[in-house]
């Protein structure tokens, strides 16, 4: 029964987040078109990267005007999305701390060992993939 309540809270929380995002006003100004000049390597790293189109949008015949409008919408939401990502990260960290506070010292040590083993396994997989 508890998992159903947790699932319900997760779904309603996600729905609330989506509603919040859809109802807030757009805050960033739209991007302007620029002349087609090749920036130098130094300028490339200094400028923020333009957002990518959502999956499959590039395959459905988007016009240049639509592409610019789509990117403007993405840019207008990015600051708010980043703020929400940071807030969510903080909430997850707070929750995890509370969960770990419920464990005994032996359980905490075993949990740390398991996490370290998982990190090592990930490092080994990445190293093996890099060698290929």
Token digits for 121?
């396994």
Residue 110 confidence (pLDDT) above 90: yes
The pTM of this model reads 0.51
pLDDT of residue 69: 95
Is the Cα dihedral 32, 35, 37, 40 positive or negative? Answer: negative
pLDDT in tens, 8-21: 555 555 555 554 44
pLDDT in tens, 27-70: 445 555 554 455 555 555 566 677 888 999 989 999 999 999 99
Most confident stretch, 3-7, 26-30, 76-80 = 76-80
Q: What whole-number distance in Å separates Cα of residue 30 and Cα of residue 127?
A: 42
Residue 7 confidence (pLDDT) above 60: no
Q: What whole-number distance in Å separates Cα of residue 25 and Cα of residue 77?
A: 9
Question: What percentage of the chain reaches a pLDDT higher than 90?
Answer: 57
Residue 93 confidence (pLDDT) above 50: yes
Alpha helices, H only, the chain: 2-23, 41-46, 64-101, 105-131
Mean pLDDT of the chain, nearest integer: 79
With a CB cutoff of 8 Å and minimum separation 6, the contacts of 100 are: 108, 111
Is the Cα dihedral 25, 49, 53, 36 positive or negative? Answer: positive
From the CB of residue 66, how many other CB atoms can be counted at a distance below 10 Å? 13
């Amino acid at each position: 029964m508890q998992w159903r309540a947790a699932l319900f809270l997760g779904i309603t929380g996600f729905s609330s987040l989506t509603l919040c995002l859809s109802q807030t006003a757009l805050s960033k100004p739209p991007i302007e078109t620029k002349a087609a000049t090749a920036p130098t390597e130094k300028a490339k790293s200094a400028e923020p990267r333009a957002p990518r189109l959502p999956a499959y949008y590039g395959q459905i015949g988007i016009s240049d005007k639509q592409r610019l409008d789509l990117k403007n919408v993405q840019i207008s939401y990015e600051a708010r999305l980043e703020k929400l990502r940071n807030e969510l990260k903080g909430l997850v960290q707070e929750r995890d701390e509370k969960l770990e506070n419920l464990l005994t010292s032996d359980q905490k040590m075993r949990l740390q060992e398991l996490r370290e083993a998982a990190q090592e396994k990930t490092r080994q997989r990445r190293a093996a993939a890099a060698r290929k």
